[in-house]
Amino acid sequence: MAVTARDDVIRAPSATALETTFLGPAKLEHGARVHHSAIGRYFSLGEHSSVLRSSVGPFCSIGAHVAVNPFTHPLNWLAMHEFQYHAFSFAHVEEYRALERLPRSAAPAKRLAIGADVWIGHNAIVLSHVGTGAAIGAGAVVTKPVPPYAIVAGNPARILRYRFSDEAIARLLRSAWWERPLEQLSGLPFDQVDKALEILEKQRGGVDLIGRPQASGPEEGGP
């Protein structure tokens, strides 16, 4: 169970984290699971939600009963049932324990990228990449990549609209505000995006971004 040890990661007693790196403060509610993932700072995961084999950016909020990159059953094997590869599901049955089976580890499975400042509503299922600033509606089933700052909902999820204009989205992505130390965001007019961006753009020349050389430009979040 390789997990980065941090005092600022709060886990409910029934929450689990396996083979995961936490890059900053995080909060895992009851029954939450984070396995084989890298998690950005100020991450919150709701009750009975799971994040598997994913890279998650900073400032992401995930509601209850959400599945991000759940383990799927093999459609091209003899059967779709886990008896072929999972040794422990019915370990109390002698003939099940004796079965010779194939290995099917999580290591080669597809990994997902979730950008910064993503919100995922209750009961959503995320099967594809999600760009920075995107909002995933409750109950959505995401089967295709979600662009940055898109609002999606439905099954399968479709784009309802974007949170901001194209120009504002480009400015937000250039600002990479989520990479700044939190104290450098203090006092911003958070509810006035244009004004906040003006301040960030004026400050940018003299600000060191977390984990990013000052001279390099930010990557656009998400796929």
List active site positions: 73
| Sheet with 135-136: strands ordered across | 9-11, 26-28, 43-45, 61-62, 119-120, 135-136, 150-153, 158-162
CA–CA dist 154, 150 (Å, integer)? 13
* Closest residue by Cα to residue 11 from 135, 106, 1: 1
- Residue 161's DSSP bridge partners are 151
Q: Which residues contact 186 (CB under 8 A, 6 or more apart)?
A: none
Query: Residue 1: is it exposed, middle or buried by C-beta count within 10 angstroms (0-12/13-18/19+)?
Result: exposed
